[in-house]
Homo-oligomer: A and B are copies of this chain.
Amino acid sequence: MNPLSSALLTDLYQLTMLHTYYVRGMGESAVFEFFIRKLPPDRNFMMAAGLEQAIEYLERLRFGPEELEWVAKSGLFSTDFVRHLEALRFTGEVHAMPEGTIFFPNEPILRVIAPMPQAQLVESRLINLVHFETLVATKAARGVLAAPGKVLVDFGLRRAHGGEAGLLAARAAYIAGYTGTATVLAGARFGIPLFGTMAHSFVQAHDDEAQAFIDFARAFPKGTVFLVDTYDTEAAVRKVAALAPQLQRERIAIKGIRLDSGDLVALAKSARCILDDAGLRETTIFASGNLDEYRLRKLLAAGAPIDGFGVGTSLVTSSDAPFLDAVYKLQEYAGRPRRKRSTAKATWPGRKQVFRHRDDFGRFNHDVVSVEGDAQNGEPLLVPVMRNGRRLDAAESLESIRRRAAAQLKQLPERLAPLEAAVAPYRVEIAPALRMLADEVDRTTSEVPALCK
């Protein structure tokens, strides 16, 4: 069984609530919205990703024989309820911001409207998918802004949190503008360009470093990249230079070298000089090893002649901010707007739309969050993507999403492009119509606080 498509990949309370809804016959329509409550430190924006995986999940959701058997045997639920689960499908509608859209706190990026049990059940996995890809797309976009025009490759599979994280991080990074990934399955499944050369172990398995390079070059004559830091980096680059005439006679192109440790500025400069002296001006320098967007910016500011970067752990774990304050909250049930008022966790009620306003140059100026259907100017960002449990359009191509993401990054206000938090954050206004709705909800569900002793 594929655990990733199991209906049991959810929280137990979804099932206990479903059971109660079932017993009580509470099947009226519910509206849930997914949004991020606040930006993590050092972030000025977020980039939406993961919608395609969310849609696939909703389309395929069902309790199969194995899942039903577990539910029946768990002793928690009635036999009637098990039969009810067997027939359960997602039949609702979904509105969402297209993947690659830049968004801000308190802006819904996905809305589910469905009978309560369905809309509730899908909470855990929907957050799980959309939160993670959005987290990584947001992190990757920072790398793209820090190293414009450079080749950026996801090297993160090994330190990603499990296999699905490795796979989806490659996708999210590619959306945000990365050039490709080392993860083969991401190439096979999503068509993302693949990059890869050799590991230190390959060099070490040979008694002679130069022989390792020759072996590899002959196996991949179309363009080979040599890892040069296994023993002594500069000595290895000299070996590459010395091998060049022989490899050229064999019509093997030395595409590049990869640095993976040490003082990357000094080593890149030295390597560039050795390669240029040997006439290898077309041979590129690729760097990896504990890199993140801060180091990329620093290396480039120091004039390191590096053409591309492999970024692994920091990207796929979003290591400086490994989570977003992402939630999926009930906004309406049975036609009545709802609101949570827990301390510091209050939400805006009802079905909402985000309207984006631009300046005369097409850059984002500010957003307005209002109730859906409010007569606002500005571009509405949430669009319908599913109805009656079916997607409205074929899956958008990754290339199309990627173009949107690139356009969005160009339209970002300049003050939001640096890696540190802007003094003046992006303006997100709450429209009067939404404030009025919140007041109305509060009036109809007021509670009087009381203290014990």
Contact = CB atoms under 8 A, between A and B. Distances in A.
A342 interface: yes
A379 to B, nearest CB: 30
Interface in A59-77: 67, 70, 74, 76
Contacts of A163: 3-4, 9, 125, 128-129, 162, 164
Interface in A212-251: 215-216, 218-220, 229-235, 237-238
B157 A124 contact: yes
Interface in A163-221: 163-169, 182-185, 187-189, 194-202, 204-205, 209, 215-216, 218-220
A283 interface: no
A377 interface: no
Nearest to A30: B205
Contact of A184 (B11, B162, B196, B343): B11
A338 B125 contact: no
Interface residues of A, number: 123
A313 interface: yes
Contacts of A162: 4, 128-129, 132, 160-165, 167-168
A79 interface: no
Nearest to A181: B12
A158 B131 contact: yes
A162 to B, nearest CB: 3
Given A3-B163, A185-B8, A232 B452 contact: no
Contact of A165 (B158, B165, B340, B345): B165
A438 interface: no
A121 to B, nearest CB: 11
Interface string A264-283: 00000011011001000000
24 contacts: A1-B2, A2-B3, A4-B164, A6-B185, A12-B182, A13-B198, A20-B202, A20-B219, A26-B205, A70-B184, A123-B201, A129-B163, A131-B158, A132-B161, A159-B326, A161-B161, A161-B165, A165-B165, A230-B340, A232-B447, A234-B451, A261-B343, A317-B322, A318-B322
Given A67-B188, A317-B322, 10 more contacts: A3-B167, A16-B197, A16-B198, A23-B215, A128-B160, A131-B159, A161-B164, A164-B165, A205-B338, A322-B322
Interface of A: 1-4, 6, 8-17, 19-21, 23-24, 26, 30, 32, 67, 70, 74, 76, 116, 120, 123-125, 127-129, 131-132, 135, 155, 157-169, 182-185, 187-189, 194-202, 204-205, 209, 215-216, 218-220, 229-235, 237-238, 260-263, 270-271, 273-274, 277, 313, 316-319, 322-323, 326, 328-330, 333-334, 338-345, 445, 447-453
